[in-house]
A and B are shown apart, each in its own frame.
Chain A
């Protein structure tokens, strides 16, 4: 269904969304409404359930209970082709990029087109000239056109993450899920990637959900911040409301202490 046929862009609704791993409750009966076009930052310390939350929305992780709804679509019930269509609509960006290092940058971006094509033609790598043009334009937009024919594994981390954003955009999605997209990047590259995400949100009108473990990044880039602890929402508000005082009240630690742990885990 073409999206301009819909009068209003639907938002994302999560109802009592739960995910258990054995005895661990990673996400605990979470209720959340995310209106279309919002840039939402999800914060929380290591193990709070941020990744599990995003992976459930993309359905890489099967929820134990609860509902995910997008407009009239009940995402939690999708299977087969309908599920792949949903995944195409909500593109995912990973901390470790998840590119194919041995394929060139152009082909990596074109992976975003796979679900728009027949299996057979895509298996032979037969992308159309129009699709290649689309990919090159996306790469050019984030300053990567010259690297198009290089193997993705030879790029810097920041470049690879921007390739991943291009792959996501080629899906022509409505939602972008980013799981700690800058956690393995240096400050300069982190800024480039966050700027790219904000452009996608502002210029392309995509809803962006972004897991972040640095509070200042969340404050600088996000319209709204949701804080998780043990799979539950412990804060939901604007960047202005998330003061150092609030952080201490919520987590019982200062902001510096809040930041310490994930850096260790990421290594």
Chain B
């Protein structure tokens, strides 16, 4: 008989066996965790089933009354697009306001995250204490949800977009700061050593050896964050922090079903436009940075 074949085959089977056992027990643990989590959070499947039809009912109410014959009629004819979107001009303006809130907040948050991420990276922090302090600081920014910041800031600065911008910016600092720091930790340290060995200081080493490596990734993350923040800015409007969210909250609480539907459609359209645009920007900008 073929001795090496039988030997390798035997140990292969042994390995496969133990892998299968590991997978099964892993699956069992996962299932158990799900059951426990469902129990604790009272997410019962029966409640889900009972609620299902009502979800359908709600969405049915959001469907606009559009008729083929009246589709392109004027603002005063029920069943026309214009009737459905009769306030499109102000909604579009509010949507624009929301995306500007998100843009400003992303820019401000990314700028601060940029400053904080280098000492928060384990490979660059001058010592463990600084690394630890900056990491925990970023966590503090991040763990408070932006909606909570918004509630506090609306109370401080009054109702309006400023509170929303600050709220999103604060959360963005934490979220981007952590991602940026992780990008920095994956950087190649040989160029760093080259700069330090020639007498450069910490700032110069960051600027010349780390920045060229990490900038394209920073940009990617910031643009993705911008997309997330547009959605965030919508929700934040609910607590009075300006933009389309505030309007959406109003029509939801007054049960203006047709308007809710119209606004939701506009939001989905706006978010997909931003997705496409920022994807294009990202590939271009990365191409420019990498040359």
Q: Which residues of A contact B (CB under 8 A)?
A: 58, 60, 84-88, 91-92, 94, 96-103, 107, 111-112, 114-115, 119, 122-123, 125, 151, 164, 167-168, 171
Cβ contact within 8 Å between B198 and A100 = no
Whole-angstrom distance from the CB of B173 to the nearest CB of chain A? 22
- Considering the complex, give the chain A residue whose CB is closest to the CB of B192: A98
Q: What does DSSP make chain B's interface, helix, strand, loop or mixed?
A: helix
Cβ contact within 8 Å between A122 and B204 = yes
A-B interface, 3 closest residue pairs, ranked by CB to CB distance from nearest: A98-B194, A115-B199, A88-B199
Cβ contact within 8 Å between B198 and A94 = no
Query: Which residue, B196, B197, B208, has most C-beta atoms of chain A within 10 A?
Result: B197
Given A100-B208, A100-B209, A123-B207, A85 and B198 touching (CB < 8 A)? no
Q: How many angstroms from the CA of A100 to the CA of B195 in the assembled complex?
A: 9
Cβ contact within 8 Å between B199 and A102 = no
Cβ contact within 8 Å between B208 and A111 = yes
Whole-angstrom distance from the CB of B217 to the nearest CB of chain A? 12
- Considering the complex, give the chain B residue whose CB is closest to the CB of A100: B191
Query: Which residue, A101, A111, A171, has most C-beta atoms of chain B within 10 A?
Result: A111
Whether, in the assembled complex, B291 has its beta carbon less than 8 Å from a beta carbon of chain A, the answer is yes
Whether, in the assembled complex, B200 has its beta carbon less than 8 Å from a beta carbon of chain A, the answer is yes
Given A87-B198, A92-B198, A114-B199, A123 and B204 touching (CB < 8 A)? yes
Residue of B191, B195, B197, B208 near A58 (CB, 8 A) is: B197
Q: How many angstroms from the CA of A99 to the CA of B194 in the assembled complex?
A: 6
Given A100-B212, A151-B291, A111 and B203 touching (CB < 8 A)? no
- Considering the complex, give the chain B residue whose CB is closest to the CB of A88: B199
Beyond the given pairs A86-B199, A92-B194, A115-B198, 12 more chain A to chain B contacts, judged by CB atoms under 8 angstroms and listed by A's residue number, are A87-B198, A87-B199, A91-B197, A96-B190, A99-B191, A100-B195, A100-B208, A100-B213, A102-B213, A114-B199, A114-B208, A119-B203
Whether, in the assembled complex, B55 has its beta carbon less than 8 Å from a beta carbon of chain A, the answer is no
Q: How many angstroms from the CA of A158 to the CA of B265 in the assembled complex?
A: 60
A-B contact pairs, 30 of them (CB 8 A): A60-B196, A86-B199, A87-B196, A87-B199, A88-B198, A92-B197, A94-B190, A94-B193, A97-B190, A97-B194, A98-B191, A98-B193, A98-B194, A99-B191, A99-B194, A100-B195, A100-B212, A102-B213, A103-B208, A111-B208, A112-B198, A115-B201, A119-B201, A119-B204, A122-B207, A123-B203, A123-B207, A167-B194, A171-B198, A171-B199
Q: How many angstroms from the CA of A122 to the CA of B208 in the assembled complex?
A: 9
Whether, in the assembled complex, B7 has its beta carbon less than 8 Å from a beta carbon of chain A, the answer is no
- Considering the complex, give the chain B residue whose CB is closest to the CB of A59: B197
Q: How many angstroms from the CA of A102 to the CA of B286 in the assembled complex?
A: 13
Cβ contact within 8 Å between B199 and A84 = yes
Residue of A60, A91, A114 near B200 (CB, 8 A) is: A114
Query: Which residue, A86, A97, A98, has most C-beta atoms of chain B within 10 A?
Result: A98
Contacts of B191 in A (CB 8 A): 98-101
Instruction: Please encode chain B, from 215 to 248, with 1 for each CB lying within 8 Å of some chain A CB and 0 for all others.
Output: 0000000000000000000000000000000000
Q: How many angstroms from the CA of A164 to the CA of B208 in the assembled complex?
A: 15
Query: Which residue, A85, A96, A101, A114, has most C-beta atoms of chain B within 10 A?
Result: A114
Whether, in the assembled complex, B290 has its beta carbon less than 8 Å from a beta carbon of chain A, the answer is yes
Cβ contact within 8 Å between A100 and B194 = yes
